[in-house]
A = this chain, B = another copy of it.
Amino acid sequence: MDVAAILQAIEVAAKNSPDRGRVADYIPELASIDPDRFGMSIVMADGRQHSVGDARLPFSIQSVSKVFALALALGRLGDRLWQRVGREPSGLAFNSILQLEHDRGIPRNPFINAGAIVVTDAVLAGYAPREYLGELLRFVRTAAGDDDIHINQDVARSETETGHRNFALAHYMRAFGNLTNPPEMTLGAYFHQCAIEMTCEQLARSGRFLAGMPGMAGLVSPSRVRRINALMLTCGHYDGSGDFAYRVGLPGKSGVGGGILVIAPGRASIAVWSPGLNSQGNSKLGTEAVERLAKSTGWSVFG
């Protein structure tokens, strides 16, 4: 299979796309990104890496960071984590808070905002936010095999200033006793975690442990990898998760910065970035690119 040729065809299709979606504009640092950016990178099981476009430009990984935070939290807390957050898709688009009310402060899964905030809160227990962020960065750098991965402080600051919905979620969970640290502390760590910047090449390499590639089993055990992949498949794209599974057939996690990490177990780790979003808040060209990739390669977990 000529993955390099497939990638080039995908890049051409992306460049010719008449509709690039809409760049997130709730903070200036994201709003100012050039909407024409497009990058993609694939690490194959044999270690070779293929890239096209802006694959070496760093971007804000945002919610893709929830995958790394979850891996870290499961490593430290194990199954105790599931006392505070569920493992079910959240379904309704408007449920971020509705479900919290219905479920008395227990978020549906670790990939919606409320759930990720609880995961961060759980890992923070006994740590200073700075220590947690240091450990998270070490985890990501080790996974990527690259120390040049950093947090964008301006993004973190802007998130803090505009993050009223996240403050509402945190206070609400605290009212139900499902937040152990002060909301400001947990959210401070959370906003910094979302402000990690990576390139497509770095992000693709950092996903090798989820694809079960050689040498990565020490980072996270194979059985835990399978479970993280399961959560990415059922919950990785908010209320577009079912559609992504139907069209792409691979576990993936998107971020509002326009990045998506996609795993073809045993075969490849894929990162794509295009800042324009579709109506569900996932990268429009990025989603189309991985759908095209899945079609061309036949990669699918479903047969």
Interface residues of A, Cβ cutoff 8 Å to B: 86-92, 94-102, 108-109, 164-165, 167-172, 174-175, 183, 210-212, 222, 225-227, 229-231, 233-235, 239-243, 245-246, 249, 251, 263, 265-266, 300-303
Contacts and interface: CB of A to CB of B under 8 A. Distances in A.
Contacts of A170: 168
Contacts of A95: 91-92
A171 B108 CA distance: 21
A100 B98 CA distance: 10
23 contacts: A87-B243, A88-B239, A88-B241, A88-B242, A88-B243, A91-B99, A91-B108, A92-B95, A92-B99, A94-B102, A164-B171, A165-B172, A168-B172, A211-B303, A227-B249, A230-B302, A233-B233, A233-B302, A234-B242, A263-B303, A265-B301, A301-B301, A301-B302
A303 B209 CA distance: 11
B94 A91 contact: no
Nearest to A231: B246
A239 to B, nearest CB: 6
A249 B239 CA distance: 20
Contacts of A164: 171-172, 174-175, 183
Contacts of A233: 233-234, 245, 302
Nearest to A94: B101
Contacts of A92: 91-92, 95, 99, 102
A155 to B, nearest CB: 18
B172 A97 contact: yes
Contacts of A100: 97
> Which of A164, A169, A263, A266 has the most chain B CB atoms inside 10 A of its CB?
A164
Given A92-B95, A97-B172, A98-B98, 18 more contacts: A87-B246, A88-B89, A88-B239, A88-B240, A88-B242, A88-B243, A89-B234, A91-B99, A96-B101, A109-B242, A164-B175, A164-B183, A168-B171, A212-B303, A225-B303, A227-B302, A230-B245, A233-B245
Contacts of A251: 302
Given A222-B303, A233-B233, A89 B87 contact: no
A265 B301 CA distance: 8
